A and B are shown apart, each in its own frame.
Chain A
């Protein structure tokens, strides 16, 4: 799993934010459109793309995409 693929996967779950804006340091829950639906979308998309099942807690405990990536890697 590459960080760039992971970022792309996360970015695709946003409607309003330009994909170019996302970096490992992006605080992905700070966007106005963030909701529980975005959270569930990320969980499902990461599962589909990388076969890794994130939990709600992983999302809650992460601040940046890098945090989330590391949580995913720990489960890989």
Chain B
């Protein structure tokens, strides 16, 4: 059967693969035929993801890595095989009003959301760990691009910087035919649980802002990521793919 979305035979590294969108991406990528390399700081989470991947398809592997630790990142890059795809998915949220942001918040959020993907990607490129035609995907956000909501300033800043970095990758890495794109989701049903203060009323009011009248499931973001990893998107690079049910239109 003709399937341009297949990523069969590709090797894909996914960060933040121990939960949420990263976990869904790992599951769907493996279903679409890829060999996946899972990276997360949380070993239990990775093992849970692995257990949901079809066991019969061998070759999947994982690394327990703190992506904020440059030594650990260096040894990951040293050890890892050449990649056809990289999903920079790791991220952390933060809901402090601007005037209450501490330097440590900045260092953590920008460190993990912006700096860590940049260091990892740059190093993989430098060490020639991307195969020709590889695809890099960043899990960015609608925040900082289209939506600016209260107490989300630090997160927005880190993600808009990430979006900008993804576009720079598209420009610079094209000489090796490497593509680089972002997916920019709005609220995903995983984030909701983490969210500090969201009452049922607030949820109902917020979801009204979405033309599709619901939040995304992590799988729906993962499927967009897998599309960008596939050859069906071979002429798409430097794009910010909104996966937002139409939220940005408001």
Report which A residues bind B (CB closer than 8 A): 35-37, 39-41, 43-45, 48, 55-56, 59-60
Determine whether the beta carbon of A37 is less than 8 Å from that of B150.
yes
Question: Which of A36, A43, A55 contacts B150, CB < 8 Å?
Answer: A36
Question: Which of A43, A44, A48, A60 contacts B199, CB < 8 Å?
Answer: A60
Q: How far does the Cβ of B36 sit from chain A's closest Cβ, in whole Å?
A: 34
Question: Which of B100, B150, B195, B198 contacts A44, CB < 8 Å?
Answer: B100
Q: How far does the Cβ of A15 sit from chain B's closest Cβ, in whole Å?
A: 11
Interface secondary structure of A, over-half rule:
helix
Which residues does chain B contribute within 8 Å of A48, judged by CB atoms?
Answer: 100, 102
Determine whether the beta carbon of A37 is less than 8 Å from that of B97.
yes
Question: Which of B102, B151, B199 contacts A40, CB < 8 Å?
Answer: B151
Q: What total of chain B residues lie within 8 Å of the partner, measured CB to CB?
A: 13
Report which B residues bind A (CB closer than 8 A): 95-97, 100, 102, 150-151, 195-199, 202
Q: Which residue of B lies closest to A43 (CB)?
A: B196
A43 CA / B97 CA spacing, docked (Å) = 10
Which residues does chain B contribute within 8 Å of A60, judged by CB atoms?
Answer: 197, 199
A61 CA / B9 CA spacing, docked (Å) = 53
Q: Which residue of A lies closest to B151 (CB)?
A: A40
Which residues does chain B contribute within 8 Å of A36, judged by CB atoms?
Answer: 150-151, 197, 202
Between A and B, 14 residue pairs with Cβ closer than 8 Å are A39-B197, A40-B96, A40-B150, A40-B196, A40-B197, A41-B97, A41-B100, A43-B95, A43-B196, A44-B100, A55-B197, A56-B195, A56-B198, A56-B199
